[in-house]
Amino acid sequence: MRYQNRTVDRAEHYGRAGIVLMVTLVLLVVLSALMFTLSIRMSAQRHRDKYIIDYQTARYGCDSAVKYALATLNDINTPRLISRPNEPDFSDLFMLDEEQYEQLLAEWNIQREDGLSTDSELSLGGGLNAQNFSDLASNDVNGFYDINDPNSARAFGDSNDSNIRTVPGPYGPPWPYITEPVELEIGSAKVRIEIEDENAKYPVGWLMMDDKSIQREVTAGLETFCEWMEVNEVQLDLLEEQFERIKEIKPFKIDFKMITKVVRQPVSTPKTKTSTSRTSRSRVRPPAMRTVRKTISVDEQVAEQSADFAKLCHSTLLDTEMLARPIVLSETRKESALKYMGMWATRKVNINTAPRHVLEAAFAFGGDADRIAEEIIQRRRIKPFAGIDDLRRELFRYSDSIEKSQKFITTVSRIFTIKVTAASGVAKTSAVIGIVKDGKKVKRIAVISS
Question: What integer pLDDT is reported at residue 126 of this predicted model?
Answer: 39
Question: What integer pLDDT is reported at residue 196 of this predicted model?
Answer: 93
pLDDT in tens, 118-133: 444 333 333 344 444 4
Nearest to 260 by CA among 236, 231, 291: 291
Query: Does residue 28 lie in a domain region?
Result: no
- CA dist 353 and 384 (Å) reads 9
- CA dist 232 and 226 (Å) reads 8
Give whole-number Cα distances, 279 to 282, 283, 287, in Å: 5, 7, 19
Whether the CB-CB separation of 82 and 120 falls below 8 Å is answered with yes
- CA dist 283 and 303 (Å) reads 41
Query: Does residue 31 lie in a domain region?
Result: no
Whether the CB-CB separation of 437 and 73 falls below 8 Å is answered with yes
Whether the CB-CB separation of 200 and 171 falls below 8 Å is answered with no
Whether the CB-CB separation of 421 and 192 falls below 8 Å is answered with yes
- Pick from 4-13, 35-44, 54-63, 154-163 the range whose average pLDDT is largest: 54-63
Query: Does residue 213 lie in a domain region?
Result: no
Using the CB atoms, write b or e for 413-429: b if 16+ within 10 Å.
Answer: bbbbbbbbbbbbeebbb
| Residue type, position 326, single letter | P
Question: What integer pLDDT is reported at residue 374 of this predicted model?
Answer: 94
Rounded to two decimals, the pTM is 0.75
Phi-psi region of 316 (alpha: psi -120 to 50; beta: other; left: phi over 0): alpha
Using the CB atoms, write b or e for 202-220: b if 16+ within 10 Å.
Answer: bbbbbbbbeeeebeebbeb
Adjacent-strand bridge partners of 293:
262
pLDDT in tens, 31-79: 877 787 777 777 777 777 788 888 888 888 888 888 888 777 665 566 7
DSSP state of 353: T
Domain count, the chain: 1
Question: What integer pLDDT is reported at residue 308 of this predicted model?
Answer: 87
Range of the domain at 426: 58-200+414-449
Residue 105, pLDDT > 90, answer no
Nearest to 144 by CA among 176, 175, 172, 180: 180
| Residue type, position 116, single letter | L
Query: 408 exposed, middle or buried (CB, 10 Å; 0-12, 13-18, 19+)?
Result: buried
User: Which residues 6+ apart lie within 8 Å of 266 measured at CB?
Assistant: 287, 288, 289, 290
Give whole-number Cα distances, 331 to 83, 257, 412, 425, in Å: 28, 47, 32, 22
- CA dist 48 and 324 (Å) reads 30
Query: Does residue 243 lie in a domain region?
Result: no
pLDDT in tens, 335-390: 999 999 999 989 999 999 999 999 999 999 998 999 999 999 999 999 999 999 99
Query: Does residue 266 lie in a domain region?
Result: no
Q: What is the mean pLDDT of residues 387-400?
A: 92
Phi-psi region of 355 (alpha: psi -120 to 50; beta: other; left: phi over 0): beta
Question: What integer pLDDT is reported at residue 177 of this predicted model?
Answer: 92
Residue ranges of the alpha helices (H) in 138-207?
A: 153-156
Question: What integer pLDDT is reported at residue 74 of this predicted model?
Answer: 61
Nearest to 89 by CA among 354, 408, 409: 354
Query: Does residue 119 lie in a domain region?
Result: yes
Question: What integer pLDDT is reported at residue 199 of this predicted model?
Answer: 94
| Cis status of the peptide bond prior to 176, with omega within 30 of 0 | yes
